[in-house]
Amino acid sequence: MARMTMIQSIRSAMDVAMGRDDNVVVFGEDVGFFGGVFRCTQGLQEKYGPQRCFDAPISESGIIGAAVGMAAYGIRPCVEIQFADYVYPGFDQIASEAARIRYRSNNDFTVPMVVRMPTGGGIFGGQTHSQSPEALFAHISGIKTVIPSNPYDAKGLLIASIEDDDPVMFLEPKRLYNGPFDGHHDRPVTPWSKHELGEVPEGHYTVPLGKAAVRREGADVTVLVYGTMVYVAEAAAEETGVDAEIIDLRTLLPLDMEAIEESVKKTGRCVIVHEATRTCGYGAELAAIVAENCFYHLEAPVIRVTGYDTPYPHAHEWDYFPGPKRVGDALKKVMEAV
């Protein structure tokens, strides 16, 4: 089995999908000849030609709008938005068109399209290259929202997303592109070549949308996470000695309610961690779900550890980033509640 970075596994997913189905096309800003700003599409234009992998003008509304039209006519576009921060000009096309066409056409039309975008911070990208807008997508009925945390899942989830008949927002934590990151920015990063989840099959396989993964089994507290925060939570559990069960959601919609309820009812405690801003972040929805479905099993209030309600600060990156100390403090606090 090959060893891949997340960049390579994402590229492999598009390669596999394009090889299996001539209707799959890839486009976006600089994704063709240049191979994308993070090189996720490198070599695809050379292999499949400029009609199936091509550059688009600097217009996110145009990129997503064109993808909606293509998808409605049976093409399967997988488009790249250079950074998640740049998706907002195309938000109307996502919310008003892509998400609604199946409903308003009474199933006559579907929109099998994927919008890929690097998300999150931890790279000193500042306020315009570090945002985590996943809650905005999860709020919209009619689209699916996916956030992988490792190369194996990234490839399987992306192939599943491309093959899905509905629009999928595919957010890629760019801090994980080249290796897992536990939040200790002053330590060397372990490359994916030395991590078990860096082993990725070279051919076709899928990871089903809507199924969470238990990354660490535990009995004391359930930690609900996705993306980069999976590894921060693992580090916090190890450093505090709290026997935490870490649930990697993988997809925010559809959400694996069964996995969440089973774990929280077992542990009786829940901590939710995400990098996005706190107010109306996806953690608020998770907290409500846990309260509504597991209330009589809870031994303590649900705790959220999140980014702050401010633009992502370049100069204070690691104060904003929910690192292992903040997560560890939450684990200890929830365990102290009686």
How high is the pLDDT of residue 338?
Answer: 65
Cis peptide before 254 (omega within 30 of 0): yes
What Rg do the C-alpha atoms of the chain give, in angstroms?
A: 19
286-290 CB contacts, 8 Å cutoff, 24+ apart? 286/224, 286/260, 289/255, 289/257, 289/260, 290/224, 290/260, 290/264
| Pair 17, 159: CB distance under 8 Å | yes
Q: Rounded distance, CA 248 to CA 213, Å?
A: 5
* 129 catalytically annotated: yes
Q: Rounded distance, CA 152 to CA 205, Å?
A: 10
Crossing angle of helices 151-163/6-20, nearest 10°? 30
Within 10 A of 186 (CB to CB), how many other CB atoms are there?
Answer: 5
How high is the pLDDT of residue 138?
Answer: 97
How high is the pLDDT of residue 209?
Answer: 98
How high is the pLDDT of residue 211?
Answer: 98
Tens place of pLDDT for every residue, the chain, 338 residues?
899 999 999 999 999 999 999 999 999 999 999 999 999 999 999 999 999 999 999 999 999 999 999 999 999 999 999 999 999 999 999 999 999 999 999 999 999 999 999 999 998 898 999 999 999 999 999 999 999 999 999 999 999 999 999 999 999 999 999 999 999 999 988 899 999 999 999 999 999 999 999 999 999 999 999 999 999 999 999 999 999 999 999 999 999 999 999 999 999 999 999 999 999 999 999 999 999 999 999 999 999 999 999 999 999 999 999 999 999 999 999 999 76
Could you tell me which residues come within 8 angstroms of residue 108 by beta carbon, excluding any fewer than 6 positions away? none
Could you tell me which residues come within 8 angstroms of residue 206 by beta carbon, excluding any fewer than 6 positions away? 156, 157, 159, 160, 163
The pTM of the full predicted model, rounded to 2 decimals, is 0.97
Take residue 102 and report the two structure tokens written for it.
């199946």
Sheet containing strand 114-119, edge to edge, reads 53-55, 24-28, 76-80, 114-119, 168-173, 144-146, 251-253
Take residue 205 and report the two structure tokens written for it.
């396989």
> Mapping DSSP to helix (H, G, I), strand (E, B) and coil, where does residue 28 land?
strand
Q: Rounded distance, CA 165 to CA 142, Å?
A: 11
**Owner of token pair 């990098």:** 275
Take residue 59 and report the two structure tokens written for it.
């217009």
* pLDDT tens column, 17-61: 999 999 999 999 999 999 999 999 999 999 999 999 999 999 999
Q: Which of 129, 139, 185, 274 is catalytic?
A: 129
For residue 141, report the phi and psi dihedrals to the nearest 5 degrees.
-70, 135
**E strand intervals along 46-191:** 53-55, 76-80, 114-119, 144-146, 168-173
DSSP 13: H
Q: Tell the burial category of 302 from Cβ atoms under 10 Å away from its Cβ (0-12, 13-18, 19+).
A: buried
How high is the pLDDT of residue 1?
Answer: 83
**E strand intervals along the chain:** 2-3, 24-28, 53-55, 76-80, 114-119, 144-146, 168-173, 199-200, 213-216, 221-225, 244-248, 251-253, 270-277, 303-307
Positive or negative, the CA dihedral 334, 335, 336, 338 is positive
Q: Rounded distance, CA 249 to CA 227, Å?
A: 9
